[in-house]
A and B are shown apart, each in its own frame.
Chain A
Amino acid sequence: MFKQLKARFGSSLSVGIIAIIGIWLIGMVILPQLIMVDYSFRPNLLPSEIGTDKDTYSLNNYETLFGNSIHLSIFAKTIWSSVLVTILTLVVSYPLAFYLAKVATPGQAALCILLLIIPFWINEILRTFSWYIILAYKGPLNALLLALGLIDRPVRFLSGDGGVMVGMVYAYILFMIFPIYNAIESLDSNQVKAARNLGAGWIRTHYRVIIPHAKPGIATGCIMTFMLAAGSYAVPALLGSPGSRWFTQIIYNWFFEGGDWNQGAAYAFLLLLICIGFIALVMRVFKVGLGDIAR
C-alpha cells in the first residue's frame, strides 16, 4: 500500500497520510476500546485508591449481570426485541426493495428513494420525537382511528414495547432497504421470467429465485438493523415507558447515574459479545458466509 501511495503522492506526503490514518485508528478507535476493556476488569474505586492493592483485575463486573435478575431479563428482552425489530423491518423492507429494484420505472424508483431519504435529513432525536407525537394517547393516529371508527377509545401505543418497535423499524429501515435493493437490482430479470415461464407463482419465484440471490443483501441489512436496534439509546429513551427499558439504558445509568464506568464497560462488552455471537449463530443457521456479505 505504501508503494502505491508513494507512486502517487511521493514519499513525504505518503508518510504523512499513513501517520494520520495510524493516529486516527490507534488513538480514536483502538485505544479507547482497549481502555474500556481494561476498565471493565477493574473495580470501581475512588481516585485515591487507583493503583493501590485494591486495584486488581477480576471478572466481578461481568458477574454482576448474572446475579441481577432484572438486568438479565432486560438484557434478554433487548436481544429478543431487537430480533423482532429486525424481522419487522425485513418484512416491511423486502417488498419495497423489490418494488424499487424490479417493478418501478427509473423515475418512480428515484422519487421513492428520495421520499425515503428526505426524513433522514432530520436529526434522529427529532424524527423519533415525531413518532412520540404521532403515537401519543391524544395524538393524530388515535384521532384518525377514532374518526374512522376502527377503535372506540384511544390506544396507549407508548406504554409497552410497541412504540419502541415502531420507532426502530422506522429509524433503521434504510439500513435494511438499501442492501436488499442492491442485491435484487443485480438479479437478471430474465431469471424471474424464466421461473414464471416454468410455471412458478409469485411466492415460489421469490422463495426459490429472488431471495436466494438477495440473501447476502438480506443478511447485511439484518445484521446492521439488529446491531443498531440492540445498541439504540434514543428510541427506547424517547418512545419507551418505564416498563420497556432497553439494555443500553442500563449501561447509560451505570456510566452517568451510578458513576460506575467499570461496571458500565463490562455491561457494554457483554452486549457486544452476545450480539456478535448471536449474529454468528444466525449466519451459520442460514448458511451465510462472511464472504457473501462482503460481496
Chain B
Amino acid sequence: MDSSVHLDNVVMNFGDFTAVQKTDLKIESGEFFSFLGPSGCGKTTILNMISGFLEPSKGVVKIGGKSMAGVPANKRPTSMIFQNLALFPLMTVAENIEFGLEVRGVSKAERKKTSDRLLELVALEGSGSKKPDELSGGQKQRIAIARALAVEPQVLLLDEPLSALDLKLRQHMRTELKEIQRKTGITFIYITHDQGEALTMSDRVAVMSAGKLQQVADPITLYREPQTSFVASFVGENNPITGVVDAIDGNLVTLNCGVLGKFTGRGIGTISKGQSATLFIRPELLKLGQTGDMSFTARIAEVNFEGSYLTLTALLNQQHAISVQIGAEQYTADLIPDAEIQLSFASQDAVVIAGEGNV
C-alpha cells in the first residue's frame, strides 16, 4: 500500500506570522522520517497539517498520492502520538487502545483481541484493566503507541514522544520504536529536537529552522555534508572559523581568517572569492600532531575526561576557542591547561559554507 506523504508546496501562516515557509517534501512509504529543529521552528505545525488539525494556508498535503484537502482529521489514515500523550484518563488502558476500533464499529471480541495483541507488542500484557494514572511514564508512552497502532494507520505521527522520559528509558524506547516500525512497515514521521534521537533512528532527517527546511538527507550525509551553516552547527558538535575567501582550487576553498591564519576545507554550494565564509571542522576530526595537511598550534584551556574520550578546549591565538575530541588512549601527562599543542586536520574533512556562520 502506498503510504507516502507529500507536502506539496505547503505554507502555513498564522495571521502575519509564517510558521512554515514554502515546503515541498516527499516522505516515502515505510520510511522512518524525522523532523529535527529547535523549539518553535514549526515541527508540530507540520504534523498538525498532516493529521488534519490545521489546513495549510497554501499547497496541499497528499497521503498515498491522494489530496487531503478538505478531509477532516477523523477521516485521515494517520494516527498521532501527542507531545503529552493525551491518554484518556477516565478510560482503562484497554478502552484507550480500543477507542479507535470502537469508533470504527469493530465488535467487542475483535477489539479485545487487538488490544491483547498490542499490549503484548508493547510488553504490557495484563495491564488492560488499569487506568492510565496507575502506570509509569514509560508504560504510558507504550500505551500511547499501542493506541495509535490499533487503528492500523498508514502513517504514524510522533510528536517528541520520548521527551518526557529519562535517558535510559528513552534509549530503550528508541530501539522499541524502531523495532515496531520494522515489524509494521508503517511510515513513521518523527519529531524531535534531540539530534541523537533523529540520527540513530531515522532513514532520513529534515533539519528545520524558523519554519524553513534547511536540509533533507540521511543521517550520515547530514553529519558529513551539511549544506547550511545552521545544519553544520545544529547537528553534532562543530568548530566554526570565519574568514574571507582567499583562493578556490577545485572543490577546496581557502579562507583568510586574519590573525588566526589560513584554513582550507571543502567548499559547499556556490562560493566566490572575496566573500565571507565559515569553515566547520568537527572536534573528532581534529588530530594531535601533524597528521593532516592543515596544521596549527593552540594553547589548552581545559581538559575534560568523558570516559572513552577526552574533550580539550584549546585557544587559537589566545582568543578563538575550539574543541578537540581525542580517544582516551591518546592521553598523555603533558595535556594540561596552558600547554602548547600541535593540532591538524585534513582539509577534505572540513567544510566551508558561505556566510558569517552565525545562525
Chain A residues near B (Cβ < 8 Å): 188, 190-191, 193-201, 204, 208-209, 212-213
Contacts and interface: CB of A to CB of B under 8 A. Distances in A.
B103 A194 contact: no
B82 to A, nearest CB: 5
Interface in B110-154: 147-148, 151
A120 B103 CA distance: 42
Given A193-B53, A193-B73, A198 B103 contact: yes
Nearest to A200: B103
11 contacts: A193-B80, A193-B82, A193-B86, A194-B82, A196-B53, A197-B51, A197-B80, A198-B99, A199-B100, A208-B91, A213-B90
A200 B52 CA distance: 13
Nearest to A212: B90
A200 B99 contact: yes
Interface centre among B82, B91, B147 (most CB of A within 10 A): B82
A190 B84 contact: yes
A193 B48 CA distance: 10
- Which residue, B88, B91, B148, has most C-beta atoms of chain A within 10 A? B88
B74 interface: yes
B274 to A, nearest CB: 52
Given A199-B100, A199-B104, A200-B103, A194 B88 contact: yes
Given A190-B84, A194-B82, A195-B99, A200 B90 contact: no
Contacts of A200: 74, 99, 103
Interface of B: 51, 53, 72-75, 78-80, 82-84, 86-88, 90-91, 99-100, 102-104, 147-148, 151
Contacts, number: 58
Contact of B78 (A194, A195, A197, A209): A197
A199 B82 contact: no
Contacts of B86: 188, 190-191, 193-194
A194 B148 CA distance: 9
Contacts of B75: 199
Chain B CB within 10 Å, residue with most, of A191, A196, A198, A209 = A198
A190 B83 CA distance: 9
Contacts of A194: 80, 82, 86-88
A193 B147 CA distance: 14
A188 B84 contact: yes
Contacts of B99: 195, 198, 200, 208
| In the complex, the 3 A-B pairs of residues with the closest C-beta atoms, listed nearest first | A198-B100, A190-B86, A194-B86
B151 A198 contact: yes
Contacts of A208: 88, 91, 99, 102
Nearest to A189: B86
B244 to A, nearest CB: 50
A197 to B, nearest CB: 5
Contacts of B82: 190, 193-194
A200 B75 CA distance: 9
Contacts of B87: 194
B103 A204 contact: yes
A41 B79 CA distance: 66
B99 to A, nearest CB: 5
B49 to A, nearest CB: 13
Nearest to A197: B80
Contact of B151 (A188, A191, A199, A213): A199
Which interface residue of B87, B90, B91 has the most chain A CB atoms within 10 A?
B90
A218 to B, nearest CB: 14
B73 A209 contact: no
A195 to B, nearest CB: 7
A197 B53 CA distance: 9
Residue from A196, A201, A212 whose CB has the most chain B CB atoms within 10 Å: A196
A213 B88 CA distance: 9
